[in-house]
Structure 1
Amino acid sequence: MIVTLLCKVTRKLLAVPSVLLRRETVKDAELLVLRYENVVLRRQLAGPVRYELADRFWFAALSGLIPRRWLRVFPVTPGTLLAWHRRFIAANWDYTARRRTGRPPTPAAVKKLVLRLARENPSWGHRRIQGELARLGHRIAASTVWAILNAAGIEPAPRRSGPTWREFLTAQAEGIVAADFFHIDTVLGRRLYALVFLEHGTRRLHITGVTAHPTRDWTVQQARNLTADLGIRIQTLRFLLRDRDDKYGEASDAVFRAEEMKIIKSAPQAPRMNAHCERIIGSIRREALDHVLIMNEAHARHVLANYEKHYNEHRPHQARNQLPPDAPEQPPAAHDLHTHKVLRTRILGGLINEYRYAV
């Protein structure tokens, strides 16, 4: 490297007077070497002799002015010069510092959008934000979203466990529709009941009705309404999964058996056997009902109808590659955030947000 070049230049300059005054130059060089070596030794009396870069430089430069018999005890050997040269050649052909490795950096506009989604939706975790970004056409990893949030000091949202009755539900998902009741307490303490149906294959949500008196006749009517809404899609369904609540009855089961569907009842006090429905009921509560004071049945129907539309047409789902149930299979193309503005649509007065590109 540079040290090798300087050493060669110094040796050439010192070799000029040696041609004219060989004997005197040799003696002076020997004295210089001995004196400098003594200086080094005195500096390191407490430990082993160690030569610094400047020491090795001067010894190498003076080595050309002394007889060969000195080379046996001279502290700089030819191997030292060769090692310097090898390091110089290796550094010259080392492209490690010039190589670009790893993922490309996330654009600043995408980072800003991630932080905006987290700020406007405190209950969203990094995977939920990743799904919303995927719906906008920005396919970045969930770990990247987590790293952006972590760097900004944003705490993660509570994690939720997935289904456990996995083998059967996965194998038969395309042919299963699950049903379950959940209750809603109004602002005056009156209890209402809503009936939920969920198609496992497409994750499509159906909230068929809300009532304060969920009789068996009312449940039968909701079953008829569902079969009418499903239309031709009911031909692909083979199983109805429900619990053993007395509100269903044989009459409501007969509606589904007429469509050649088999009724599967979960075990008593085993809500995890209907995990998908339990999960969607939890999402309805966390994302809507826990933040709204329900006044009456009409108000509850309005809130649930808006959430059902948002769930089916916009909300991304991990089981469907971050696509909503009613969306096409192909994700939308990403747009440049510098030229396309992302607009927010407020659902239920801003309780739920949807994001789309400005047309």
Structure 2
Amino acid sequence: MLVEISVTEQRYQAVLDVRAGSTVTDVATRFGVSRQAVHRWLAWYEQEGLAGLADRSSRPRSSPAQTAPEVEALICELRRNHPRWGARRVLFELGRVGCPGPIPSRVTVHRILVRHGLVDERPRRRRREDYVRWERDRPMELWQMDIVGGILLADGSEAKVVTGVDDHSRFCVIATVVPKATGRAVCLALVAALREYGTPEELLTDNGKQFTARFNAGGGEVMFDRICRENGITHRLTKPRSPTTTGKVERFHLSLRRELLNDHPPFLSVADAQTAIDEFRHQYNTDRPHQSLDMAFPVDRFRPEPGDGIALKLPPSLAAVVEETAPPAPPPARLKSGPVVSSTTSIGHAVEVNRTVPASGNLGICGQQFWLGPAHAGRDVTVWADTTVVHLLLDGVRLKTVPSRLTPIHLHQLLTDGGKPGGPPPVSAGPVQVGTAVEVERTINATGLLALAGRQHPVGFHLAGRRVTARLDHGVLHLLGPDRTVLRSLPNPLSAAEAARIRDARPGGPAPAPTPAPLKVDRRVSSRGSISIARQKIQVGIGHAGRTVTVEEADTTFRIYDGDQLLAEVIRTTSKRVARFKARKPEPPRRRSSI
């Protein structure tokens, strides 16, 4: 009869055999364990007796690399406030709002969300590398267009949305609500986008009857095809039943449904639905990072074509409708005290007003939102606004410039609410002169990349999520903080002509104050390829063993150079000060022999 004995009893039997005179090697072989295990059992038995042979936890006493509790709490708070955010978006916003400790990896963020029950584990799908993705090389080369439903109105009817997305930048160029998706309504939406952004080289659509007569019995040419042909646009069609070909605009539809339509009650009217979708479209283009763009914003990659001065060619029947549907001038408004103000106030009329940035960092003026970030919360900013542009200044230094959505009525409301007539614009309009210093505001994405002139430039992972001012001054790229302190200086990756074409660029202000030279010390690489500075061990590589390297100290990183070659840049994890500046440790003094 076989009897199962416990692990403790087996260990006890092994200890008794050794104490009875058997060798450790024979006992280890008989029980199928290593000799070190038998020695551990003997030590446990001598120290604690029979209780010491019981199973014990293998959990380590400490975990130095464990995520700080305050960082974990911030991750959970971001997820609870925004249930649709995944690990990548939470990681991006973690760097954007300011992480109280070292920024964890995406996998760590995902595990934290799973551990707290904020994300459900799902079986792994196909890897991202398995998908074949395509993207045009520059904006305005291809637009994808489609029609989506789901706009429920209060009268029980359902409206449609004519949508269009730029293939390179994912910038939404069309989001027009129509009662019925007729061919004329789709063409009117397209014409409005062409007038606002210019003419793309190609248009990609499905085989809907609004876009083509490909499957119509009578054949012929629909109005959409005619507009494309007469304005030099190549109209491309997908294969039947292949929605993945227009995957970018379909993905925009998914975001529109998830973030707006699914949880929204029926709209009162088409105009009410258009207002809500316009707000979503603005947020989608300017303040919503895209994983497909390495967490960049579509507005940073999109550049409209100014056109060549040739007017759009439209069919006569459609041209008449365009003229009739032009928005009428708003009625005149009367101030509380004063004469009637005409809505035809000149565009040059400007207003200056002071406002305090709220705790969220999102400043609102007459319904238009301006993102400044929590770093500016509680500070007073000066707003210079007219009907074309809005400048935001802090102590005379420009923070950002955005297109204005304010009307003359809004400007006069600001005048009655503590504002004053604005002087000349703080930033001159027009293109920036080639060869002069330019500045532009950008947010560094979660992987430490800066978007300039339609390309991503690495500037350092330690700056991920920060809002910086990029100053291009001849051959140097300066990254400036909110107080115009130099965060980092790098070689300028753009030519003078490219720098002059950067979107939202402005002439550079005064040069930043020179920063003190960084501390540099020498270290000799050990035989195992590592060095130690301020009690932090850094692995340089065994290939550099025995060489003397230079370590440059920064606020958050250490940079290791071998001559002029940058070997590595690691995040600083020590709070100790650098106390040794030579490559070798000083040898202790030798004692003299008394003989």
**Pairwise TM-score range, normalised by the shorter structure:** 0.5 to 0.7
Q: CA deviation at 1:276?
A: 1.2
> Corresponding residue for 1:309?
282
Could you tell me whether the CA contact under 8 Å between 1:125 and 1:157 is conserved in 2?
no
* 8 Å Cα contact 2:360-2:374 kept in structure 1: yes
Partner residue of 1:357? 374
Task: Specify whether residues 345 and 118 from structure 1 end up closer, same or farther in structure 2 by C-alpha distance, changes over 3 A only.
Answer: farther
Structure with higher helix content: 1
More strand by share: 2
Q: CA deviation at 1:131?
A: 3.4
Q: Do 1:132 and 1:316's aligned partners in 2 also have CA atoms closer than 8 Å?
A: no
Identify which of 294, 307, 321 aligns with 1:321: 294
Distance 2:116 2:300 in 1: 32
Equivalences for residues 124-273 of structure 1 within 5 A? 124-136=85-97, 140-156=104-120, 167=132, 169-170=134-135, 174=139, 175-183=141-149, 184-231=151-198, 234=199, 237-249=200-212, 250-273=222-245
Check conservation: 1:122, 1:157, Cα contact below 8 A: no
Cα RMSD after superposing both structures:
4.3
Shift of 1:187: 3.5
Within 2, Cα distance between the matches of 1:222 and 1:140?
44
TM value normalised by structure 2:
0.37
Cα separation, partners in 2 of 1:342 and 1:267, compared to 1, 3 Å:
farther
Q: Give the secondary-structure state (helix, strand or coil) at the position aligned to 2:74.
A: helix
Per the alignment, residue 427 of structure 2 pairs with: none
Aligned partner of 1:118 in structure 2 is: 79
Q: Deviations over 1:187-216 (max 9, x none)?
A: 332110111110121111133421113322
Shift of 1:125: 2.3
Which amino acid in 2 is paired with 1:311?
Y
Number of residue pairs matched? 254
Asked if structure 1 preserves the Cα contact closer than 8 Å seen for 2:205 and 2:236, the reply is yes
Over 3 Å counting, the alpha-carbon distance change for 1:256 and 1:116 in structure 2 is farther
**8 A contact 2:147–2:181 mirrored in 1:** no
Instruction: Say which SS state the counterpart of residue 343 (structure 1) adopts.
Output: coil
Q: Which amino acid aligns with 1:220?
A: C
Instruction: Report the Cα distance in structure 1 between the residues aligned to 2:227 and 2:116, rounded to whole angstroms.
Output: 54
CA deviation map 1:238-258 (0-9, x unaligned): 321111111235322343445
Structure 1 residues 85-138: Cα deviation after superposition (integer angstroms, max 9, x where no partner): xx9xxxxxxxxxxxx99x944344332221111111222222332333354466
Contact 1:176 1:199 (C-alpha < 8 Å) held by counterparts: yes
Q: What per-residue deviation string (whole Å, max 9, x for no partner) do you get for residues 10-67 of structure 1?
A: xxxxxxxxxxxxxxxxxxxxxxxxxxxxxxxxxxxx9897556xx99xxxxxxxxxxx
Distance in 2 (CA, whole Å) between partners of 1:197 and 1:165 is: 27
1:76-91 equivalences in 2 (<5 Å): none
Provide structure 2 residue ranges, at least 5 long, that are not aligned to the other structure.
1-12, 24-38, 40-61, 213-221, 303-357, 365-370, 377-595
1:180 partner amino acid:
D
Identity of aligned residues (%): 21
Query: Where do 1:273-284 residues align within 5 Å?
Result: 273-284=245-256
Q: Give the partner amino acid of 2:78.
A: L
Q: Say if 2:136 and 2:168, in contact at 8 Å, map to a contact too.
A: no
**Corresponding letter in the other structure for 1:226:** A
